[in-house]
Amino acid sequence: METLSATRWLQTLLSALALSILTTTASLAAPFENTLAQRLQACTACHGDQGRAGPDGYYPRLAGKPAGYLYNQLVNFREGRRHYGLMTGLLDTMDDSYLQEIAQYFSSLELPHPKPVPSTASAALLSRGQQLATRGDAAKGLPACTQCHGSLLTGVLPQTPGLLGLPRDYLNAQLGGWKAGQRHASAPDCMADIARKLSDADANAVTHWLSSQVVPFPAKPASSPPPRPSAQASVECGKPINTGQTTTSSVPPSAQLTQGAYLARIGNCAACHTARGGAPFAGGKRLDTDFGQLVSSNLTPHPSRGIGAWSPDDFWQAMHDGKSRDGRLLYPAFPYTHYTQVSRADSDAILVYLRTLAPSGQVNTAHDLRWPYNTQWALSVWRWLYFKPAPAVPTSPAPGDLARGSYLVNGLGHCSACHAPRNRLGAIDEAHAAGGGEVAGSRWLAPSLQSKTPGSLGHWSQEDLVQYLTQGQSKHGNAHGPMAEVVLGGTQYLEPADAQAMARYLLPESPARSATRYGDIGIPPVTMPATAPTALGPRLYEKHCASCHGQNGQGVAGAYPPLAGSATVNALRPNNLIQITVLGGFAPATAGNPRPFGMPPFQLQLNNQELAALVSFVRVSWGNTAAPVSEFDINKLRPAAAP
Ligand code: HEC
Ligand code: HEC
Ligand code: HEC
Ligand code: HEC
Ligand code: HEC
């Protein structure tokens, strides 16, 4: 009784606070528009309104730069040739066509540049800068910057950016990045070459001169570079990036190959076997576990470094028994504990597909595990305790067969690899799967998929689940973080009959399944803290969140998910709410949702105390019934600061 009245008191207080804020600031919120600009607010939160650059010059301008250049940079971040973790995290759930569209969009914006800051440099220094920019220094092998960046230095289509209107700090940081090997472009990387030839004094001179120039308006990139004077050094630059390279063959694919490619997607093999920026399936991706770091292996058909010499029997031994070709026991980070259920025909088809990949000579890297986990005898004990190969089956259940759903969920889909808890030795504990599991190497929580447990899938319809798996969105929320990557690389490609089979298996028809909302089912009553909450939570919500999620957490249909009644918000453990608030994110780009809306990361805006107040406020407001979160919880669950 006492808790109840305390709850009610708190809710009245909070809604009174929210209401008073509403009346003072409602007029400030911009109206919602279903545009690309609205979708990309997650970007302009850092890059400034319309991508005009952040106020202090640290966040570069995007508006008006050549689309080819912007696209190349987005791919460079995603593939690890440039580094900014908070931004890269947002790009990880996008596909190339959305990146193209984003690049086109920012490129098409024509905004005047701010007036340049008058330079404090001496006339001699500025004159040296001008010389380098417009004439180069043949003795040092330096072509003029105008040679590639255009005679007006406003860039050249399709992929060379302008150099005017950029703050000096930004210019220096980029030249320094190339010199130090932190920024890369596709090879040959001409700017790396030029930056290394520029002495510190010359770099200083040229950035002083560039940043003091008035930018013409409109600052259109030229359509071709100026003719090269024969006296000037010539340097080669890389071609525009063309991603999405798959094997091209004039022979039409066999049914077995098509099936193999499909199954490899459903198993999401590429997610673990492709390193950031590395060749597809060439391995080398590092996976964090409680026992140390594992490195995935090269699955391309290279004869000695990949699996080019493997027979279908060798491959089956890995998939079904968890043993490498030479008999070495494999670590269950490779989810053969699930793949053991894959049929022989499907295993063979996957190998047929892998053999069509471009062979990569990448050498497998040794794992970095603590003793005794790095020994084969420890692994054999583990396997004796926790792994029994499934009975071998020649073929998989046909589409339409009732057993097909279980085959996909428990076999190739390896859903419980994340969605069930693990014991102290890393073995999956299906018997206690009701609480869901923590995703290895992260603080994300994969909720229980058992439809009978409180607060779980129980209130979803089969159609909702099919939509979630194939589009990454549903009326119960979107796929975030690791699940967004599962959808992006895997489940979005599910054939309709297979998606339905999985939904039928996970959500069997039963009248007992209730239609109650997440927060209403079986969640233990919330014990409110004795002290009154501070006004900090509502204030931060108003400042950072209300413009998208609404004054009352109601969201905007089709764009911003509601926080009132949200499963993520009301979850017993606040892990995912904290990950999402700190990291932001886009739902995965899929055929059904090709241009998702984005949420900016708040890593840099909110300290632990503020995050605790904000998250607690969201968890107890608008009918939400979850327990507040302490600073201590935040300290434990906050993802590490991005590099
Ligand atoms: C948390 C802040 C932040 C967010 C959010 C962010 N960026 Fe960035 N972005 C940066 C920083 C910082 C750099 C410069 C990094 C460097 O110096 O290399 C950058 C660089 C870029 C560049 C390269 C610019 C150039 O001229 O070389 C592009 C393009 C870009 N961002 C696009 C985006 C897009 C598109 C989004 C949204 C999907 C986005 N950014 C979200 C901080 C952010
Ligand atoms: C041989 C051609 C070439 C020459 C000469 C050249 N650049 Fe570049 N520069 C490029 C290309 C291409 C890019 C885009 C690289 C990428 O895609 O990351 C670039 C990018 C840059 C950038 C990054 C801009 C941004 O928005 O992040 C800076 C800064 C830069 N160049 C400075 C210079 C300076 C200063 C000079 C003269 C000393 C110069 N460049 C001469 C080809 C050239
Ligand atoms: C969750 C991450 C993960 C996924 C998903 C995954 N693998 Fe792996 N795989 C690994 C790791 C890590 C290893 C290395 C294990 C070891 O060396 O003990 C590995 C090893 C292998 C090996 C043994 C290679 C060798 O040289 O011994 C094969 C074969 C393999 N994986 C195939 C696949 C296929 C096919 C798929 C998709 C159906 C897949 N993997 C999905 C992580 C993964
Ligand atoms: C790499 C780990 C991982 C794998 C593998 C994985 N999931 Fe998830 N899943 C997550 C995480 C983390 C969440 C919670 C984040 C979110 O809300 O998107 C989640 C959320 C979900 C949800 C939303 C549940 C809810 O109650 O809100 C469904 C449904 C789901 N996953 C289904 C599946 C299915 C089906 C598979 C197998 C094909 C699967 N997942 C495989 C990590 C994973
Ligand atoms: C620019 C608009 C915008 C702002 C500002 C914003 N969000 Fe979001 N938020 C989104 C979008 C878009 C999604 C869906 C993202 C996805 O699918 O990954 C989302 C998703 C979420 C989710 C997951 C909800 C669910 O049920 O799946 C939570 C929780 C959340 N936001 C909390 C916050 C908090 C707390 C703040 C303030 C600190 C905030 N958001 C600010 C746009 C925004």
C-beta neighbour count of 2 within 10 angstroms:
8
Q: Is residue 113 part of a domain?
A: no
Q: Which ligand does the CA of 610 lie closest to?
A: 5
In a domain? residue 342: yes
Which residue, judged by its Cα, is nearest atom 35 of ligand 4? 415
Out of 233-242, 568-577, 615-624, 628-637, pick the least confident.
233-242
Domains: count for the chain: 4
Same structural domain, 341 and 266: yes
Give the number of other Cβ atoms within 10 Å of residue 510's Cβ: 9
Cα–Cα distances in Å, from 640 out to 24, 78, 83, 613?
A: 36, 19, 16, 19
Whether residue 548 has its Cβ less than 6 Å from ligand 5: yes
| Residues 371 and 260 occupy one common structural domain | yes
Query: Is the C-beta atom of 318 inside 6 A of ligand 4?
Result: no
As a whole number, the mean pLDDT across the chain is: 88
Say which residues have a Cβ less than 8 Å from residue 241's Cβ, sequence separation at least 6.
Answer: 71, 72, 75, 76, 186
Q: Is 146 in the pocket of ligand 2 (CB under 6 A)?
A: no
What is the CB < 6 Å shell around ligand 1? 40, 42-43, 45-47, 58-60, 62, 65, 70, 73-74, 82, 84, 86-87, 90, 102, 161, 173, 183, 598, 600-601
CB 351 within 8 A of CB 301: no
Does residue 248 form part of some domain?
Answer: no
457 lines ligand 4 (CB under 6 A): yes
Look at residue 10 in the predicted model and tell me its pLDDT: 41
164 and 98, same domain (yes or no)? no
82 and 178 part of one domain: no
The CATH number for 72's domain is 1.10.760.10
312-357 tens-digit pLDDT: 999 999 999 999 999 999 999 999 999 999 999 999 999 999 999 9
Q: Tell me: do 260 and 306 sit in the same domain.
A: yes
Q: Above 50 in pLDDT, residue 11?
A: no
> What is the number of the ligand closest to the CA of 164?
2
Residues 560-608 have pLDDT tens digits of: 999 999 989 998 899 999 999 999 999 999 999 999 999 999 999 999 9
Mean pLDDT is lowest, of 24-33, 180-189, 288-297, 464-473, for 24-33
pLDDT above 50 (res 67): yes
Ligand 4 centroid distance, CA of 480 (Å): 9
Per-residue burial over 306-340, b = 16 or more CB atoms within 10 Å of its CB, e = otherwise: bbeebeeebbbbbbbbbbbeeeebbbbbbbbbbbb
Written as six digits, the tokens of 290 are 């409680």
In a domain, 78, yes or no: yes
Mutate to test the pocket of ligand 2, among 157, 191, 193, 213 (most ligand atoms within 8 A of CB): 191
Same domain, 162 and 273: no
Q: What is the pLDDT of residues 252-283, one digit of tens each?
A: 889 999 999 999 999 999 999 999 999 999 99
Task: State whether 279 and 357 are in the same domain.
Answer: yes
Could you tell me the residue range of the domain that residue 328 belongs to? 255-386
- The Cα–Cα gap between 429 and 422 comes to 5
* % of residues, the chain, pLDDT over 70: 89
Give the integer Cα–Cα distance in Å for 288 and 295: 9
Claim to verify: residue 291 and residue 346 sit in the same structural domain: yes
Report which protein residue has its CA nearest ligand 5's atom 32.
Answer: 581
Among 61, 82, 107, the domain boundary falls at 107
* CA nearest to 411, candidates 267, 552, 584, 536: 267
Taking only the tens place, the pLDDT of each residue in 90-120 is 999 999 999 999 999 999 999 988 888 888 9
Give distance in angstroms: CA of 114 to centre of ligand 2: 21
Residue 295 pLDDT greater than 50, yes or no: yes
* 134 and 206 together in one domain: yes
* pLDDT mean over 495-522: 69
In terms of residues, how long is the chain? 643
Are residues 260 and 378 part of one domain?
A: yes
Q: What separation in Å is there between the alpha carbon of 480 and the centre of ligand 5?
A: 10
Whether residue 79 is found in the same domain as residue 149: no
Percent of the chain clearing pLDDT 90 (strictly above): 74
Nearest CA owner, ligand 1 atom 30 = 74
Q: Which of residues 56, 81, 107 is at a domain's end? A: 107
For residue 421, report the distance from its CA to the centre of ligand 5, in Å: 27
Encoded tokens for 27: 């007029």
Question: Do both 129 and 100 map to the same domain?
Answer: no
**Nearest ligand 1 atom, CA 99:** 35
Predicted TM-score of the model (pTM): 0.91
In angstroms, the CA 620 to CA 616 distance is 6
Atom of ligand 4 nearest to the CA of 444: 12
Domain assignment present for 20: no
Q: Is residue 615 in a domain?
A: yes
Contacts of 276 (CB under 8 A, 6+ apart): 78, 79, 80, 285
